[in-house]
């Protein structure tokens, strides 16, 4: 079953929500490749998904550091653990094992759970740093130029 986005996954930070949606798209692409039984495509999607997720983690961690998020350290640890688990899967795949099913369900469960819980937890802290979209529209708090520049710079650093 493909994952459909729902509001429990929203952090309210546009740039982050866009990245999370892209991750969900990759998970759905993986399911399609798996159902097709296309092994080459499956490995390609897995590679892209891991690569994109790693860039996302890097982006997120730098943003949280800038925002002075107090749980940055444990958050980083969770990202590290995830990468470790995924690496174990790719090592098994390299030995010829068919890991697509197991990896797909792990990714779907783990990433969605992480987004809905740990990621949503930093939402307030980051919104306070950049000034929320809503506040921006109401004309209360405009995003300070230096901060929006920071986000743009981060994007360039982690995504090509």
Residues that bind Fe ion (CB under 5 A): 60, 119
Q: Tell me the residue nearest to Fe ion as measured from the CB.
A: 119
Looking at the Cβ atoms of 29 and 119, the one nearer to Fe ion is: 119
Q: Least Å distance between CB 40 and Fe ion?
A: 28
Looking at the Cβ atoms of 41 and 125, the one nearer to Fe ion is: 125
Q: Least Å distance between CB 153 and Fe ion?
A: 19
- The CA-atom distances, in angstroms, between 113 and each of 7, 52, 135 are 13, 18, 28
Q: Least Å distance between CB 28 and Fe ion?
A: 17
Looking at the Cβ atoms of 79 and 104, the one nearer to Fe ion is: 79
């Amino acid at each position: 079953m493909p994952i459909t986005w729902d509001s429990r996954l929203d952090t309210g930070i546009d740039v982050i929500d866009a990245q999370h949606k892209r991750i969900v798209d990759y998970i759905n692409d993986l399911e399609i490749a798996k159902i097709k039984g296309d092994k080459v495509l499956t490995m390609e999607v897995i590679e892209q998904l891991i690569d994109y997720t790693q860039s996302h983690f890097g982006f997120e961690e730098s943003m949280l550091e800038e925002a002075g998020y107090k749980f940055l350290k444990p958050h980083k640890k969770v990202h590290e653990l995830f990468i470790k688990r995924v690496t174990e899967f790719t090592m098994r795949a390299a030995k010829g094992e068919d890991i697509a099913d197991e990896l797909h369900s792990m990714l779907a469960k783990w990433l969605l759970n992480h987004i809905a819980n740990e990621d949503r937890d930093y939402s307030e802290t980051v919104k306070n740093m950049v000034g929320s979209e809503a506040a921006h529209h109401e004309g209360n708090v405009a995003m300070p130029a230096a901060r929006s520049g920071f986000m743009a710079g981060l994007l360039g650093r982690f995504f090509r």
